[in-house]
Structure 1
Amino acid sequence: MSPRARSAAPTASTPTVASSALEARDRADDRRVLLFTAGVLLTAFAIGSTLQTIFIYRPERVATSELIAEAPQLPDRLMTNLVTVAIALLLAAFVRLEERRPLAAAGAVLAIALPVALARHGLQLLLGIYVAPELDVSLVEVCSVAVVIAVALGLALAQVRTRVRLREHERAEAEHRLRASTALAELAAEEMRVRREVADGLHGTLQGRLVLSQAAIDAIQRRGVEEGWSEAALAQLAGLRRDLERMREHDVRELSNLLYPVGVDVSLAHAIRALVRRVPAEIDITAEVDPEADLALDRGDDAVAQRIAVVRGIEEGITNALRHGAATTIRVMVGVSDVDGAGAPRVRATVEDDGVGLPDSPRWNGLARTSERLGLRGGRVELAPSSLGGARLEVEVAAPVRS
């Protein structure tokens, strides 16, 4: 067995071990609920029937002195009833009543109730609570107690069954949410993989072919000069070479960066610095990135996707500042905002400029796509006037939770 296979084996068994431990804990909880509920009901019956037998339920009205004479029987009657409760609970625990199917559980309840009721009546005879009772009295005593025990155990079982159904429903919902989350994570990972492959193809393969095409044009130009071609033909070749150069340096690189920004694999700060370096030198642009922002995004499995979302928002702000605001000064700040109610930090990026400011009815266009993209990740986009005199774009995204 290879080292990889040996290291993977314990990981594969972990969910099974965790599931078995969780099921064992649930069974123990169900048993406690069953015994507690049945115990409370039967104990209440035990105490109530003891008091009722002597002080309330009598064949005829008796004097107070006779009631007082019966009082010494209270401990014996109470002990008999409490012993009955204990025996019923022990038997319910022994047969694992809460784990049985409905039909088997009903049979087990009857199998517990009748013997326990008979045992109670036998203990009453042994203690002298009843002396040579008539058969109908014994039958009523045994049957009534059996019914009470069966009802108490049935109610306790009903409560356990309700707990089990609720638990299964909650777990089904949790599994559904987990499957949905896993599917989204897999889609995001696949999107990042395709983005990276396409960007690498543009940056490497396509650029390489364009360079080879430029070299071929250079060779043709040299041959044209040697053979005395016309100036118009040579100028046409020079223009074609410039178009290829512009395509390689601008269009292909821009498209590659749109798909997968440079430096996004390393960190958010690295990607933002690479973005800022692309801004013309005559523009005064600075970027400050709080290290806590990178740490917040690095907590999740889709850190790269989160970084791309933030970088896209910043890029949109810079583009708008230059294209629509005629800005000469741009300030980019990235930090961690206040913690929300769930205890998760939020990464906030702000782009401010000294341009012409916001029109009365600003058109979002690209910002609408940015807002939609961030909204899918629990983020938001806000456009407002800037303290520098131009526009202020703020994008915010929820930091991912490590799985």
Structure 2
Amino acid sequence: MAWLRDPDRPPLLSVVFWLVLGATVAVNLMLPSGVVNRLLFFADVVLLCGLWLVMPWRPGRGRLLATPVFLAGSFALGLVGAAGTHAPLTLLGMANLALVYGMRTAGATLAAFGAILVIVPPLFFGRTFVQALVDLAAIAVLSAFSMGMASAVLRARRLAERVRELTVAEERARIAAEMHDSIGHHLTVIKLGLENAERFRERRPEAAWEEVHQAKDLTQAALADARRWVRALRPLALDGDLGSAALQKLADSFSGTGVTVTFEVEGMERPLAPDTELVLYRVLQEGLTNAVRHAEATSVRGTLTFDRRRIVLVVADNGKGFGQGHGSGFGLSSLSDRVAALGGRLISGDQAVGFELRAELPS
């Protein structure tokens, strides 16, 4: 039921929706109305409440029919006794339509809605053509605001995605350079060792076999490094995974290492800034990689906690710990700097059992 607390739903729009809907109900109760109209009115209100909770706020999230049904329901609310107070609900539906279907679809729908507003009330509800035009002018002004807000959100989303792509590309380039230094070194030594073995194979066969055995050991080390870097090169969200989903996928990728890895989320999850997501990803990756390579751990547990003012990621293993010198080769210095750059702090150290890495970042 995570979609009931969709992090893509703008909180301010939720506040506006519930306030407007409450005011519409209050006005309807104060005005005289027939039994049938009142029953239809409250049935429509219940429908809109349910649709608001399931409407998607990003393309590709499913439940796409909820948006046009919400628009139709908000328009119908005016026909069964909303006394004009329902207009902002229709505009919220238009904003949602723009965010999910795009600005062109929203613009075409808005034009059709305007035509209906001019034609239907004079023909069936006793309003004059001039009154219909006045209503249309008011809706047009509010619609311009609504569509402008949706356009700004869409532009901000595109910019955020671009920033994510650039950040991940920069991180991939950095890791690729480290991968070149690591695996490239192993392959260079292996090549030299095999060339020596080829020269020694007749005159010094024992030395030749020693070079072969050394090359075999280095090949295993290079293979282990290659597997580790393949996991490290996975970007945050190639398959649309964001936030805890990306971290869960990273934790699952270590399932074949012989270490039991668990990951859980505590608190109400909310959207994370791209820089925050990347740092959390690297903290979990660092904790898992070092638990597998150095700590001789049999289990690792990652916990992502959402507090009111901060986000905390803890990676704890049951390994042998690292003693006083764990910071030198543990790669924590640069990671600590990155956490500090976001206004957070990175705490690491041996525990009663194993080692713990804790990142605290502002929300």
Would the TM-score normalized by the shorter structure come out above 0.5? no
TM-score band by shorter chain is 0.3 to 0.5
TM-score (norm 2): 0.40
Larger Rg: 1
